[in-house]
Chains A and B, each alone.
Chain A
Amino acid sequence: DGGITQSPKYLFRKEGQNVTLSCEQNLNHDAMYWYRQDPGQGLRLIYYSQIVNDFQKGDIAEGYSVSREKKESFPLTVTSAQKNPTAFYLCASSIGGYPYNEQFFGPGTRLTVL
């Protein structure tokens, strides 16, 4: 089955620790994205990558880092510099390019920092 997987579904970390969220896709998509969702809010873009070894900051990149070493994988690290990391994190991917390519979303990871 083609799709996007995110693991784990729930993640707990102590304050001050870095944590890495996994996102893998087998759709052969070039572009991948990370969004953050807070209660009562829509999704906000953290980082995106349109090709391997390249990525750009979104609207709320501070305190986060990413890598894109493989086409299939786009892990997100939430660093200790992120002031309020508790949130729901969604990964998405698309074929990339113009004019229109639907973004497909993974099931998400709920991160709770204690």
Chain B
Amino acid sequence: AQTVTQSQPEMSVQEAETVTLSCTYDTSESDYYLFWYKQPPSRQMILVIRQEAYKQQNATENRFSVNFQKAAKSFSLKISDSQLGDAAMYFCAYRRRDRDDKIIFGKGTRLHILP
């Protein structure tokens, strides 16, 4: 069975600094997607970034980028120039490429932004 592990329950970063959130996963599949979702205090889930496992290039979306290490099954999220609005729960998630049903979520990392 696939699993997603986020080992950092909480993190803090100074405004304008850079922070990296860690995620590891376990799967026997070779083709899959990895995601980072943001859940702000409103509790609305927002997709931050997506990585396709067959692509070696790390995904980037503005201030958000990932470090995807397929062999190590590691998928970290880097947030550059942290802003107060980045304060939220961040969930790492996995989905098999050939299945449109189950997304497996980690337990989340709560990110605090210090002014």
Contacts and interface: CB of A to CB of B under 8 A. Distances in A.
Interface of A: 31, 33, 40-45, 48, 50, 56, 58-59, 88, 90, 92, 94, 96-103, 105, 107-108
Contacts of B50: 100, 102
Contact of A48 (B42, B52, B91, B101): B101
Contacts of B47: 102
Interface in B77-91: 91
A48 to B, nearest CB: 5
* Top 6 closest pairs, chain A to chain B, by CB: A42-B105, A105-B45, A43-B105, A42-B107, A108-B43, A48-B101
A31 B46 CA distance: 18
A96 to B, nearest CB: 6
Interface residues of B, number: 24
A108 B91 CA distance: 16
B57 to A, nearest CB: 16
B105 A50 contact: no
Interface string B21-36: 0000000000001000
Contacts of B9: 40
A105 B43 CA distance: 10
A13 to B, nearest CB: 20
Given A45-B102, A98-B100, A99-B97, A108 B107 contact: no
Nearest to A45: B102
A44 B53 CA distance: 22
Contact of A103 (B44, B103, B106): B103
29 contacts: A33-B101, A40-B9, A40-B108, A41-B107, A42-B91, A42-B104, A42-B107, A42-B108, A43-B103, A45-B103, A48-B102, A58-B101, A58-B102, A59-B102, A88-B43, A90-B45, A94-B100, A96-B100, A98-B98, A98-B100, A99-B97, A100-B33, A100-B50, A101-B100, A102-B50, A105-B44, A105-B45, A107-B44, A108-B44
Nearest to B45: A105
Contacts of A33: 101
Contacts of A105: 44-46
A97 B108 CA distance: 27
